[in-house]
Amino acid sequence: LAGLWLVTFHLKETNHHRTASFALQLKGYGELGRSPPFWAYALCMAFGIGTLYAFLGGAPLVAAQLGGLSSTALGAYMGMVPAGFMLGSYIVGHTSSRHAPTRLILVGRLLTAVGLLVGLVLLASGLTHPLAFFGPCVFVGLGNGLTMPAANARILSLRPHLAGTASGLAAAVTVIGAGIVAFLAGLVVNASNAHVA
């Protein structure tokens, strides 16, 4: 209730050039919907967050497979992934003036893929320590930390006159897409295969 009150009475509108009709807003959705770069960045964000959701859904099952992890230890290990996200976002904030957003996105996606492959190699090697699973998963957070701010910046700059519309539509695509990825992961991941899946 306090948040609703603050937003209603104290959050000022930042768009001083609002469209006159809802039809113009829908036209903006159409313009963005026909933009391949918009879809590339939005789907990149959706799959990145979807990977995070799959990790969050499967990590407790992996902890059960490993056995003997307290809820405190599980929380600490799982907290390593958001720590990676914070580090990635920090890096973007301090290097974005020197590196193109597309380079940061590419590095982020590569780090995520390499981290997950390292996890599979460690598993195939027979290592069962929790760090053999959770350590490589830090790269999911790090990769998303590099990807999300850079992809968002690119989406907002594609059509500057539609920045607000692009932001809202990209957020919707990200949440829906990540939800679909998480749902599909839930069809595959179970208590017996969680570590690999």
Mean pLDDT score, 77-85: 94
160 DSSP 8-state letter: G
Domain boundaries, the chain: 38-188
Q: What tokens appear for 105 in the block?
A: 């996105």
Global pTM value: 0.82
CA atoms in the 13 A half-sphere facing the CB of 112: 27
Mean pLDDT score, 55-77: 87
Smallest CA-to-CA distance from 148 within 180, 124, 170 is with 170
Please report, for the chain, how many H helices and E strands are present, in that order: 7, 0
Cβ neighbours of 143 (radius 10 Å): 27
pLDDT at 47 over 80: yes
Mean pLDDT score, 160-185: 92
In this prediction, residue 23 carries a pLDDT of 74
Mean pLDDT score, 71-92: 93
Residues 103 and 77: beta-carbon distance below 8 Å: no
Q: Which one-letter amino acid corresponds to residue 178?
A: A
Q: What is the mean pLDDT of the chain?
A: 90
Between 148 and 67, name the one with better pLDDT.
148
In this prediction, residue 20 carries a pLDDT of 66
| % the chain with pLDDT above 70 | 96
Mean pLDDT score, 14-38: 80
Q: Which one-letter amino acid corresponds to residue 69?
A: L
d(C-alpha 184, C-alpha 52), whole Å: 13
Q: What is the pLDDT of residues 96-123, one digit of tens each?
A: 889 999 999 999 999 999 999 999 999 8
Residues 138 and 85: beta-carbon distance below 8 Å: no
Most confident of the following: 69-83, 125-139, 169-183 = 169-183
Distances (CA, A) of 33 to 40, 42, 51, 102: 11, 11, 24, 20
Cβ neighbours of 50 (radius 10 Å): 22
| % the chain with pLDDT above 90 | 62
Main-chain phi, psi angles of 4, to 5 degrees: -65, -45
End-to-end CA distance of the chain: 41
Q: Please give the angle made by the CA atoms of 39, 154 and 180, to the nearest 5 degrees.
A: 35
Residues 111 and 139: beta-carbon distance below 8 Å: yes
Q: How far is CA 126 from the centre of its chain?
A: 29
Domain range 38-188, its CATH number among 1.10.8.60, 1.20.1250.20, 3.30.300.30, 1.20.120.350 = 1.20.1250.20
